[in-house]
C-alpha cells in the first residue's frame, strides 16, 4: 500500500493532520485577512459577548478575540518553526558528528546534552530575559537551545544503528569517508525519525512559547500571542471568564494536532514498530 | 557497586560545577555594565561606582566567581540588590512554598501515572486502554498554566470552594496553618500533575507492555503464576527502570512548571522571587535562584541514578 492510502486509514494521523492544517490555515489566513485589525483598541466595545460583529467577543481593551487568535497562530508557528530549526540543525550536526567520530567526541556531545537537560527552556529564558530584556527573540533562542540536545540524542541513537549496517561497511570498503557516508547513507536513513521528532518538538515549542508569553518573558505587546491573551484574561476572570477559554483551547488543539500527527507519522514511517504496539 | 557510585558522584559534582560556570558566564555576558543596567540611564557616575563596589564589579571576573562559589560552599550568599538581605535567606523563605508544591505534585503524578499506566497495560487494546491513552493525549496537549486557570475558574470563581490564589503561610501566627497551607497548594499541585502524569502514564504503559513480552514472564506464566501475580511479582520491578529515568527527566519540567504555576496562583515561591528579581534588575537573585533550580534538577537525577541500583540489582555487579 502506498504511504498516502495507509495514511488515510490511520485515524489519529488523519485527525492530527486536520487539526494541524486548521492551525496552519489560521496563521496563513491572518496574513491576508482578519475580521478586525488584531491590535485595534475599541474601549466602548470592551468585554463584548460574541455577536455577528465580533464572533468571539472582545477583550478588556475592546480588541477582537477572533482576530487576535488568528494572528496568535502566526506567532506560535513563527516561534515554533525557528526554535525547532535551531535545535534540528545544531542537534543533527552534533549527533551526526558524535556517531561518525565515536570515542571521546561522542562522549563529549552526550555529556553536553545531558547537561543541557538540566536547563529547561524557562531557565534559559529567565537568564536571557534578565540580561537582554524579554521579547520574541528571547523566547525563540531559549526554546531553540533546549531543542539542541533533544535532536542531538535522537540523531546519534538513530545514526549509530545505521553505521552498523552492511551497506555502510560496503561504502567504507569502497573508500568513502565518514562525512560522505553521513551525507549519502546516514542522514537519508534517519530523516523520517527526525521528521517525527521535529513534529513533537514543534508541539512542545508551542506550549513553551505560550508559557513564556504568559509570564511576560516572550512575545511583547502589541503582537498578539495566545500565552499573553491568557495572562490578560486572568485579570478579567470574574467579569469575563470566557476570555480565558478561547486561547487555551487554541493552544490545546494545535498541540494535540501536532502530537497526533507525530504519533501517526511514527507508525506510518516505521511499520515494524506499529505492529508491535 | 562502589565504583558505580563513585562514577555517578563524580559526574554529579562535575555537572554542578559546570552549571555554576555557565550561570555565572551567561550573566557576565551582559552588554554594558550591570550597575548601569540596575540603576537605569539617569544614574550618576557616583551612584554607579557605589553599586559597582557593592556588587564587587571592581574585581576581575575570576575573583568574583571564586568569591561567589566559595561563599556558597561555606553557606554564605551575596546580598540581594533590591531586598538588601542575603539571597540565601530570601530563597529559604520562598522554598517553604516551592518545595512542598513540587513534592505534592510529584506524589500526585506518580500515584496517578502508575495506576493509569499499569491499568492501561493490563487492558491492552481494550476500552480501558484506549480511554487512558486518549485522556493522556489530551492531558499532554493542555498547558499546565491554562489548566491552572481553568481550575481557578471552576473552583474559585464558580464554586468558590478555594481562593483564587495567594498563600496563607504555614504558621498559625500568620493566620495560616498546615491545613490552610495545603489547601492553597492543592489546586496548583493538581494543575502541575495533570500534564506530568499524562506523560508518565504513557511511558509506564509501554514499559509494562515491553516487559510483559519478555521470555521470563512467559516462563513465570507457564509455571502457573496468574497474570496478576506475574505482573506484580516480575513485570513491575523490571518496568520501573525506564519509568524512573523518565521521572528524573520530568523533574526538570516540574521545576519550570512550578515556577509558572506559582505565577498563576500568586504563590510566594522561588518562581515569583525570580520574576520580581527580573523586574527589579536584581541579577544577584536571578543568578542564585537559577543555580538553585539547576542544582535541584541535577540532585534529583543523581538520586534517580542511585535508585537504579536499588531497583535493578544487576547494575551493582555488571555496570561497575
CA separation for the pair B154, B128 (Å, rounded): 27
Contact across the interface for B142 and A211, Cβ inside 8 Å: no
**Which residue matches cell numbers 511576560?**
A216
Q: Which of A211, A247, A250, A260 to mutate to test the interface with B (most CBs of B within 10 A)?
A: A211
For residue A133, the chain B residues in CB contact (below 8 A) are: none
ipTM of the complex: 0.87
**For residue B139, with 0-12 CB atoms within 10 Å meaning exposed, 13-18 middle and 19 or more buried, which class applies?**
buried
Asked whether the predicted pLDDT for residue B320 surpasses 60, the reply is: no
Which phi-psi region, left, alpha or beta, contains residue B140 (left: φ > 0; alpha: ψ -120 to 50)?
Answer: alpha
Contact across the interface for B286 and A126, Cβ inside 8 Å: yes
What's the pLDDT tens digit per position in B292-317? 888 888 888 888 878 877 777 666 55
| Strand segments (E) across A49-125 | none
Identify the CA nearest to B147 among candidates B252, B250, B260: B260
The pLDDT value recorded for residue A62 is 75
What's the pLDDT tens digit per position in B242-261? 888 888 878 878 888 888 89
Q: Give the list of residues 6+ apart from residue B264 with CB closer than 8 angstroms, or none.
A: A234, B145, B148, B149, B152, B165, B188, B191
CA separation for the pair A229, A240 (Å, rounded): 13
Identify the CA nearest to A212 among candidates A146, A160, A265: A146
A178 CA: distance to closest CA in chain B (Å): 30
CA separation for the pair A119, B293 (Å, rounded): 9
Instruction: List phi, psi (to 5°) of A64.
Output: -75, 120
Contact across the interface for A251 and B146, Cβ inside 8 Å: yes
CA separation for the pair A106, A157 (Å, rounded): 11
Q: How far is CA B266 from CA B155, B163, B213, in A?
A: 16, 11, 47
CA separation for the pair B23, B20 (Å, rounded): 5
Cα-to-chain-centroid distance, residue B291: 13
The interaxial angle of helices A136-163 and A103-116, nearest 10 deg, is 140
DSSP A38: T
For the segment B118-141, the average pLDDT, to the nearest whole number, is: 91
Joined together, the cell numbers standing for residue A37 give: 485589525
Contact across the interface for A130 and B143, Cβ inside 8 Å: no
The pLDDT value recorded for residue B56 is 72
B173 CA: distance to closest CA in chain A (Å): 30
The pLDDT value recorded for residue B31 is 58
The pLDDT value recorded for residue B315 is 61
Of B149, B209, B256, nearest to A234 by CB-CB distance is B149
Least confident of B98-107, B112-121, B193-202, B280-289: B280-289
A84 CA: distance to closest CA in chain B (Å): 18
Is residue A58 helix, strand or coil? strand
Q: Which of B23, B36, B121, B149 to mutate to test the interface with A (most CBs of A within 10 A)?
A: B149
Contact across the interface for B249 and A117, Cβ inside 8 Å: yes
**Which residue matches cell numbers 477583550?**
A59
Q: Give the list of residues 6+ apart from residue B3 with CB closer than 8 angstroms, or none.
A: B320
CA separation for the pair A172, A270 (Å, rounded): 26
Asked whether the predicted pLDDT for residue B154 surpasses 70, the reply is: yes
Whether A261 and chain B come into contact, CB under 8 Å, resolves to no
Residues in chain B: 320
* Contact indicator for B285, B109 with CB cutoff of 8 Å: no
Whether A120 and chain B come into contact, CB under 8 Å, resolves to yes
Q: How far is CA A132 from CA A121, A129, B37, B213, B248, in A?
A: 16, 5, 10, 52, 31
Q: Which of B139, B256, B275 to mutate to test the interface with A (most CBs of A within 10 A)?
A: B256
Which phi-psi region, left, alpha or beta, contains residue A46 (left: φ > 0; alpha: ψ -120 to 50)?
Answer: beta
- State the pLDDT confidence band at B44, using cuts at 50, 70 and 90: confident
Q: How far is CA A260 from CA A20, A108, A187, A267, B198, in A?
A: 9, 34, 25, 11, 14
- Interface size A-B, in CB pairs within 8 Å, comes to 119
- State the pLDDT confidence band at B1, using cuts at 50, 70 and 90: low
**For residue A71, with 0-12 CB atoms within 10 Å meaning exposed, 13-18 middle and 19 or more buried, which class applies?**
buried
For the segment B124-129, the average pLDDT, to the nearest whole number, is: 90
Quick check: bond before A222 cis, omega within 30?
yes
In words, the CATH class of domain B87-317 is mainly alpha
The pLDDT value recorded for residue B165 is 80
Q: Give the list of residues 6+ apart from residue A67 with CB closer than 8 angstroms, or none.
A: A30, A34, A35, A36, A37, A38, A224
Whether A33 and chain B come into contact, CB under 8 Å, resolves to no
Contact across the interface for B290 and A215, Cβ inside 8 Å: no
Which phi-psi region, left, alpha or beta, contains residue A131 (left: φ > 0; alpha: ψ -120 to 50)?
Answer: alpha
* Contact indicator for A145, A116 with CB cutoff of 8 Å: yes
The pLDDT value recorded for residue B160 is 85
A9 CA: distance to closest CA in chain B (Å): 18
Query: Per-residue b/e over B34-72, b at no fewer than 16 CB within 10 Å?
Result: bbebbbeeebeeeebeebbebbebeeeeeebbeebbeeb
CA separation for the pair B294, B129 (Å, rounded): 36
Q: What percent of chain A lies above the pLDDT cut of 90?
A: 33
**Which residue matches cell numbers 520501573?**
B240
Q: Which residue of A has its CA nearest to B154?
A: A241
For residue B278, the chain A residues in CB contact (below 8 A) are: 126, 129-130, 134, 217
CA separation for the pair A149, B319 (Å, rounded): 25
The pLDDT value recorded for residue B190 is 94
CA separation for the pair A249, A240 (Å, rounded): 16
| Intervals of chain A under pLDDT 50 | 274-277
For residue A229, the chain B residues in CB contact (below 8 A) are: none
CA separation for the pair A217, A226 (Å, rounded): 13
Domain ranges in chain B? 2-73, 87-317
Contact across the interface for A244 and B145, Cβ inside 8 Å: no
Q: Which residue of B has its CA nearest to A263?
A: B137
For the segment B99-109, the average pLDDT, to the nearest whole number, is: 93
Amino acid at each position: 500500500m502506498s504511504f498516502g492510502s495507509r495514511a488515510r486509514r490511520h485515524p489519529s494521523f488523519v485527525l492530527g493532520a486536520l487539526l494541524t492544517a486548521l492551525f496552519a490555515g489560521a496563521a496563513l489566513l491572518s496574513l491576508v485577512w482578519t475580521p478586525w485589525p488584531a491590535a485595534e483598541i475599541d474601549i466602548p466595545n470592551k468585554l463584548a459577548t460574541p455577536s455577528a460583529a465580533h464572533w468571539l467577543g472582545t477583550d478588556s481593551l475592546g480588541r477582537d478575540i477572533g482576530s487576535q487568535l488568528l494572528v496568535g497562530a502566526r506567532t506560535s508557528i513563527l516561534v515554533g518553526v525557528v526554535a525547532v530549526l535551531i535545535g534540528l540543525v545544531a542537534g543533527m550536526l552534533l549527533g551526526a558528528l558524535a556517531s561518525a567520530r565515536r570515542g571521546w567526541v561522542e562522549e563529549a556531545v552526550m555529556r553536553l546534552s545531558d547537561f543541557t537537560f538540566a536547563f529547561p527552556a524557562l531557565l534559559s529564558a529567565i537568564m536571557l530575559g534578565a540580561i537582554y530584556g524579554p521579547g520574541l527573540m528571547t523566547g525563540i533562542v531559549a526554546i531553540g537551545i533546549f531543542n539542541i540536545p533533544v535532536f542531538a540524542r535522537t540523531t546519534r541513537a538513530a545514526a549509530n544503528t545505521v553505521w552498523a549496517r552492511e551497506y555502510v561497511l560496503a561504502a567504507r570498503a569502497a573508500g568513502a569517508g565518514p562525512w560522505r557516508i553521513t551525507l549519502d547513507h546516514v542522514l537519508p536513513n534517519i530523516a523520517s525519525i527526525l521528521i517525527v521528532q521535529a513534529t513533537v518538538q514543534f508541539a512542545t515549542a508551542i506550549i513553551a512559547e505560550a508559557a513564556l508569553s504568559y509570564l511576560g518573558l516572550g512575545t511583547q505587546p502589541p503582537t498578539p500571542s495566545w500565552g499573553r491573551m491568557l495572562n490578560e484574561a486572568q485579570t478579567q476572570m470574574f467579569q469575563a471568564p470566557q476570555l480565558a477559554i478561547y486561547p487555551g483551547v487554541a493552544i490545546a488543539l494545535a498541540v494535540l494536532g501536532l502530537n497526533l500527527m507525530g504519533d501517526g507519522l511514527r507508525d506510518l514511517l516505521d511499520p515494524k514498530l506499529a505492529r508491535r504496539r | 557497586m562502589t565504583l558505580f557510585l563513585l562514577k555517578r558522584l563524580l559526574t554529579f559534582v562535575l555537572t554542578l560545577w559546570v552549571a555554576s560556570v555557565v550561570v555565572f558566564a551567561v550573566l557576565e555576558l551582559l552588554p554594558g555594565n550591570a550597575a548601569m543596567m540596575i540603576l537605569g540611564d539617569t544614574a550618576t557616575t557616583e551612584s554607579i561606582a557605589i553599586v559597582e563596589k557593592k556588587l564587587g564589579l571592581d574585581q576581575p571576573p575570576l575573583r568574583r566567581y571564586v568569591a561567589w562559589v566559595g561563599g556558597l560552599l561555606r553557606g554564605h550568599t551575596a546580598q540581594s540588590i533590591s531586598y538588601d538581605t542575603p539571597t540565601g535567606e530570601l530563597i529559604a523563605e520562598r522554598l517553604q512554598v516551592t518545595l512542598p508544591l513540587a513534592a505534592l505534585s510529584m506524589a500526585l503524578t506518580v500515584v496517578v501515572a502508575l495506576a493509569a499506566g499499569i491499568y492501561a497495560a493490563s487492558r491492552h487494546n481494550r476500552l480501558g486502554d484506549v480511554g487512558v491513552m486518549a485522556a493522556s493525549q489530551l492531558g499532554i496537549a493542555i498547558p499546565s498554566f491554562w489548566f491552572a486557570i481553568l481550575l481557578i475558574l471552576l473552583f474559585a470563581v464558580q464554586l468558590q470552594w478555594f481562593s483564587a490564589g495567594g498563600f496563607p503561610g504555614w504558621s498559625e501566627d500568620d493566620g495560616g496553618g498546615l491545613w490552610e497551607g495545603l489547601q492553597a497548594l492543592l489546586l496548583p499541585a493538581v494543575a502541575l500533575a495533570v500534564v506530568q502524569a499524562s506523560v508518565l502514564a504513557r511511558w509506564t504503559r509501554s514499559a509494562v507492555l515491553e516487559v510483559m513480552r519478555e521470555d521470563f514472564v512467559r516462563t513465570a506464566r507457564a509455571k502457573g503464576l496468574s497474570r496478576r501475580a506475574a505482573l506484580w511479582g516480575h513485570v513491575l520491578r523490571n518496568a520501573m527502570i525506564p519509568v524512573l529515568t523518565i521521572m528524573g527527566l520530568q523533574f526538570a519540567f516540574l521545576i519550570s512548571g512550578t515556577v509558572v504555576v506559582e505565577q498563576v496562583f500568586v504563590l510566594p515561591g522561588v518562581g515569583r522571587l525570580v520574576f520580581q528579581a527580573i523586574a527589579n534588575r536584581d541579577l544577584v537573585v536571578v543568578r542564585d535562584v537559577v543555580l538553585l533550580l539547576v542544582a535541584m534538577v541535577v540532585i534529583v537525577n543523581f538520586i534517580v541514578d542511585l535508585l537504579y541500583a536499588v531497583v535493578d540489582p544487576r547494575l551493582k555487579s555488571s555496570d561497575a
